[in-house]
A = this chain, B = another copy of it.
Amino acid sequence: MSSFYHGAVLRLSVFGQSHAEAVGMTLDGLPAGLPLDLQRLQRFLDRRAPGRNDWSTPRREEDSPEFLCGLKDGKTCGAPLTAVIRNRNTRSGDYEQLRRLPRPGHADYTAQCRYGGFQDASGGGHFSGRLTAPLCVAGGILLQMLETRGIRIDARIFSIAGITDNAPFTGSVSEKAFPTVSDAEGVRMREAIAAAGAEGDSVGGVIECRACGVPAGLGTPMFDGVENRLAQLAFAIPAVKGIEFGSGFGAAALRGSENNDPYVFEGGSVVTETNHAGGILGGITTGMPVVFRVAVKPTPSISRPQKTVNLETRQPETLRVQGRHDPCIVPRAVPVVEAVAAIAIADLILEG
């Protein structure tokens, strides 16, 4: 029941396993009549796709969605929209041993506990990062819808391996192959990734996301506020282990007089001088940019030997993870973060 998202208006189902016939998604609740720019959607998906540069896995997939329904003459028709992406480049053999030797940091062991050995272990099965491809199809469609309403969502790499890009995040860096604001910090991050990869290791990082143009007054207090929704969706991205809004954990060390954002008028509108709140107060948007950051753990798949247990013999063993893996998934996760933000914000907008 995990694979269904039940928003206020939007409904999303994400399906597939890494080495099944396909991955895909069904999105319902879209307004009818929305034109879809498929080329632009493809460019968005390409930002996530593997095999395109030196820091990502050599597995290369086209990631071209086939739309089975939900469109009529290139526009949404009010019916649920389903798109599937075929899995072509799969090598199941790499993963056979993982049924008995769970990889540290992966879901092998927890899937074994939950599904009693019936889970599809190949390539991580339903837990694979490949499931973020259909998530990006949904998000990419919704980004186009949001743009027609004057809302723009952009994410950037904020830090990798402890190297932080503190340059202010104002414009978009989506077109960059390595989406940092500061190119200098980007170079340092790529060196850190390469160094880790050379040692058969991996690194994590932090992604910052910002939604501009979101009107004030969306969301509600308690269980269904803007933070609740964004958080629920952000943790759908494998490897995300934390989320913070505005000043976030930093706010915990500030005084109220520093963290409170003073109200002022600007061009006739009420705005705040600062945005420690990340555009959200009481679960409701303030009209300022919605800003959040997610922590991405280092890729658990590393080729260095690791301690694990053999679930059959019940003996300790040493595991060397084979297969093709990114030493850092943060760059490819940037559009995925934009995608989940688009799902949450679009749902808020449609709810009104």
Interface residues of A (CB under 8 A from B): 1-6, 8-17, 20-24, 26, 28-29, 32-33, 66-72, 75-82, 84, 102-107, 109-111, 113-120, 125-127, 131, 159-162, 196, 201-206, 216-225, 227-229, 231-236, 238, 240-265, 270, 272-273, 276-278, 280-287, 295-302, 304, 306-309, 311, 314, 316
CB distance from A222 to the nearest CB of B (A): 4
Contact A2 B221 (CB under 8 A): yes
Q: Are B243 and A308 in contact (CB under 8 A)?
A: no
Q: Is the CB of B298 within 8 A of A120?
A: no
Cα distance A323–B26 when bound, in Å? 30
Q: Name the residue on B nearest A254 (C-beta).
A: B298
B residues less than 8 Å from A276 (CB atoms): 297
Nearest CB to that of A234 among chain B residues? B231
CB distance B241 to A126 under 8 Å? no
SS class of chain A's interface: helix, strand, loop or mixed? mixed
Whether the pair B255, A196 counts as a contact (CB closer than 8 A) is yes
Given known A105-B259, A263-B102, contact A118–B72 (CB-CB < 8 A): yes
Partner pick for A224 among B2, B107, B203, B252, CB 8 A cutoff: B2
| Contact status B217-A110, CB under 8 Å | yes
Closest to A121 in B: B72
Say yes or no: A78 contacts B223, CB within 8 Å.
Answer: no
Q: Are B231 and A79 in contact (CB under 8 A)?
A: no
A97 to chain B, nearest CB (A): 14
Residues from chain B with Cβ under 8 Å of A262 in the complex: 104, 306-308
Nearest CB of B to A319, in Å: 9
